[in-house]
Structure 1
Amino acid sequence: MTRKLRVGLIGAGIAQRHLAGYNWNKDLFEVPVLCSLDEDRGRQAVAEFGVGEYTSDVETLFARDDLDVIDICTPPDSHFALSKRAIEAGKHVICEKPLFGSIADVDAMSEIVGKTDRKFMPIFQYRYGTGLQKLKRLIELGLAGRPFLTTVETHWWRGPAYYEVPWRGKWASELGGGLLGHAIHAHDMLNYVHGACAEIFAHGATLVNKIEVEDTMTLSVKMANGSLAALSMTLGSRKEISRLRFCFSDMVAESILEPYTMGRDPWTFIAGTPEHQARIDAALAEHQVTEDGYTRQFELFHEAVMTGGEPPVTLEDARNSLALVTAAYHSQRTGQPSQLPITPAHPLYGSWLP
């Protein structure tokens, strides 16, 4: 019989999407307790999702011996300290994006976790959309060919009301702007398909709202696998879209435009010849569709804990994602291309905060 993992959840905003994911995996997880400083929203989430109890005292979660996992859904500036406390308390950790505020923090957490048998999983639930999973499968089967160019557009709208939440739009608490908090999922999908970046040149600006951080940015990227990528992000698009387009020697893959679920079907996969199109279509017809989003990522996390394997998203995956951010901020400020990987010698290794 499969053992359920017992989760202590910290937060009551994006945490509600996590609770929905746990509820779709009721045979794998239960959530005895939710902790939030926002008592009204916390108690509402507890009632709506059938959580055992509400608390405002986070220290009680670390002290409990009946919890297997601490799931952190708080503002970004608190992620590292809460993660460290949870690992030291002997818990597995799930943590929302953006993970931390520097590559140094990721490396420090890797060292902390490496001294234990605990699992640490950053959240990148967009990876599990059926469309993106089909692309991964075609690449594994050798049907895509050599990668040439990827374009990623994250064109969303965020007006002044969005920034009435006190921690948003500020370097100290949000740690960055649209590049870090909004486009991070689409850019993770780039890394998920092609691996790490090798060089980035970026322009960024604050054009849409009166905030401290960037809300519009363009990036020109060389990937370590030799391909190129062009990334654009704005929070000033009155029509919201997300689009990923992957050009390979033997096919083009293109996502849907739905801004918040662009990993899902129906993606298009267009080959260069009728014969190769038939091979692609045959492979897609055999693709096994699974759950997606948080539901699938949590399911795979449970499997990793039970088997002792790697979590489906690792600290190294989060490092690649935040290395892209670090290099982009460095390029924006220096007006020069920024090289990767980001090492301790890099001027923004310890923090990209200005």
Structure 2
Amino acid sequence: MTESTSPAIRRAAIVGTGGIATAHAAALSELAGRVELVAGVDIDPARAAAFAEKWSITRTYPDITSLLENEELDLVHICTPPGSHVPLAIACLRAGVTPLIEKPPALSLAEMDELAAVQRETGVPVLTVFQHRFGSGAIQLRSLLERGVLGRPLIASCDTLWYRDAEYFSVPWRGNWDIEGGGPTMGHGIHQFDLLLSILGEWDEVTAVAGRQSRPTDTEDVSAALVRFANGAIATVINSVVSARETSHLRFDFEHATVELDHLYGYSNSNWTVTPAGPDQTITRAWADGMGNNTSGHTSQIEAILDALDTGAAPGVSLAAARSTMEFVAAVYASSFTGRRIKRGDIGPGDPFYASMLGSGAPWLAPAEGAGVPA
């Protein structure tokens, strides 16, 4: 008789114990028995100690080097400000440990390609946090679309209308091109339009505008884009941190139905609405048939990662998938700041928007404020 063996309990650490680390720690706690949070890293000892006490972590470290030298790990959750994501992830790759990087995974396409080069060199995968892909509604929508139930995608809209006040931007790295990499296009709406892209597939071209309407930032506080997809669908994407009535809204109009999602920072099945194009309720029944019950939080994505690791499958979201989303971000900035229509593939080495989302410079910044812009 062959004894069955249970999958190994994975060992995880969190680097950066600020606000978003709480979501990661809570998700790991919910998945206890499959993964153990064994260590935390922060340059602030008091903050690290408080985080460790809250989440019953026995060891903390002041830097990634100390962590990797002293711990045997399967996953390192990178929850630091965006400007440090890539060097931290590369340290993990060179130590043979998979990094899971919070959004945005990098500051530029150049950094994404640097990560890809080290990934190829080490053979260790880079994973990125785009948890909205893993809610049951998104999974069901992709399935119905792939099976042809909904017909061809025609038009869509993706609105991330959030509100962040001056106190929010008092944190020094927020609203800063060099550290945060961009405004709501880079750091807020990215979750919603990543979900949009995961449904509609490869985008083909972008025309966009961005502005600094009222917030005390170097980055934009609003942007709006018109997008054409390779399959012919057309979408609008709006990102804002100046909208008092906050909402995250996606709408997809297919040949046979409209599918809508209304939520704020995460969704469940109840946040979705399906409206058939006619009286036939086939699509309504198909939507309900086999629907899971995952919300779109970090727990769902990390659970999917653990499932993939246990079965030997490739876990998501891969660096290649994240690069498509980051290329879309770069295209929004490039179109906004140059007035050009940007085709997929236009932004490569030598283009200013390849090295920095600020590219050739935001029109509201004086030359001195655009310091660090590639020549």
Q: Which category describes the TM-score, using the shorter chain as reference length?
A: over 0.9
Partner amino acid, structure 2, of 1:236: V
8 Å contact 2:156–2:234 — kept in the other structure? yes
Q: Provide the rounded CA distance (Å) in 1 between the counterparts of 2:292 and 2:164.
A: 36
Q: Provide the rounded CA distance (Å) in 2 between the counterparts of 1:128 and 1:6.
A: 22
Q: Provide the rounded CA distance (Å) in 1 between the counterparts of 2:279 and 2:240.
A: 38
8 Å contact 2:276–2:283 — kept in the other structure? no
Residue in 2 aligned with 1:107? 113
Give 1:82 deviation, angstroms: 0.6
Matches within 5 A, 1:59-208: 59-208=65-214
- Asked whether 1:2 is paired with 2:17, we answer no
Q: Provide the rounded CA distance (Å) in 2 between the counterparts of 1:311 and 1:260.
A: 23
8 Å contact 2:251–2:260 — kept in the other structure? yes
3-state SS in 2 of match to 1:274? coil
1:288 counterpart (288, 292, 311): 292
Partner amino acid, structure 2, of 1:255: L
Give 1:264 deviation, angstroms: 4.8
2:25 counterpart (19, 22, 39): 19
Q: Provide the rounded CA distance (Å) in 2 between the counterparts of 1:239 and 1:224.
A: 33
Give 1:178 deviation, angstroms: 0.8
Give 1:142 deviation, angstroms: 1.7
- Asked whether 1:327 is paired with 2:347, we answer no
Give 1:339 deviation, angstroms: 1.1
2:272 counterpart (259, 267, 273): 267
Partner amino acid, structure 2, of 1:265: S
Deviation track 1:237-285 (CA, whole Å, cap 9, x = no partner) reads 11101100000001100112x321146533111111222x234324413
Structure 1 pair 283–12 and aligned structure 2 pair: CA distance change class (3 A): same
Give 1:31 deviation, angstroms: 1.2
Instruction: In structure 2, list runs of 5 or more residues that go unmatched.
Output: 1-5, 362-375
3-state SS in 2 of match to 1:230? strand
Partner amino acid, structure 2, of 1:237: S
Residue in 2 aligned with 1:350? 355
- Identity within the alignment, %: 31
Q: Provide the rounded CA distance (Å) in 1 between the counterparts of 2:342 and 2:275.
A: 34
3-state SS in 2 of match to 1:107? helix
Instruction: In structure 1, list runs of 5 or more residues that go unmatched.
Output: none
Give 1:85 deviation, angstroms: 0.8
Give 1:120 deviation, angstroms: 1.5
8 Å contact 2:268–2:296 — kept in the other structure? no
Partner amino acid, structure 2, of 1:197: W
Q: Provide the rounded CA distance (Å) in 1 between the counterparts of 2:294 and 2:233.
A: 30
8 Å contact 1:72–1:96 — kept in the other structure? yes
Q: Provide the rounded CA distance (Å) in 2 between the counterparts of 1:259 and 1:179.
A: 16
Partner amino acid, structure 2, of 1:326: A
Structure 1 pair 136–244 and aligned structure 2 pair: CA distance change class (3 A): same
8 Å contact 1:9–1:15 — kept in the other structure? yes
Matches within 5 A, 1:250-265: 250-256=256-262, 258-262=263-267, 264-265=269-270
Greater shift, 247-256 or 280-289, is seen at 280-289
Q: Provide the rounded CA distance (Å) in 2 between the counterparts of 1:116 and 1:150.
A: 39
Deviation track 1:111-148 (CA, whole Å, cap 9, x = no partner) reads 21123332221000122223323322321332111011
Residue in 2 aligned with 1:313? 317
- Segments ≥4 residues shifted beyond 6 Å: none
Greater shift, 306-315 or 203-212, is seen at 306-315
Give 1:199 deviation, angstroms: 0.7
TM-score by length of 1: 0.95
Q: Provide the rounded CA distance (Å) in 2 between the counterparts of 1:263 and 1:202.
A: 31
How much is the aligned-residue C-alpha RMSD, in angstroms?
1.7
Q: Provide the rounded CA distance (Å) in 1 between the counterparts of 2:269 and 2:134.
A: 8
Give 1:2 deviation, angstroms: 1.3
8 Å contact 2:169–2:216 — kept in the other structure? no
Structure 1 pair 266–57 and aligned structure 2 pair: CA distance change class (3 A): closer
8 Å contact 2:28–2:35 — kept in the other structure? yes
Partner amino acid, structure 1, of 2:136: T
Residue in 2 aligned with 1:213? 219
TM-score by length of 2: 0.89
8 Å contact 1:216–1:236 — kept in the other structure? yes
Give 1:291 deviation, angstroms: 5.4
Partner amino acid, structure 1, of 2:331: A
Q: Provide the rounded CA distance (Å) in 2 between the counterparts of 1:282 and 1:65.
A: 47
8 Å contact 1:131–1:265 — kept in the other structure? no
The number of aligned residues is 352
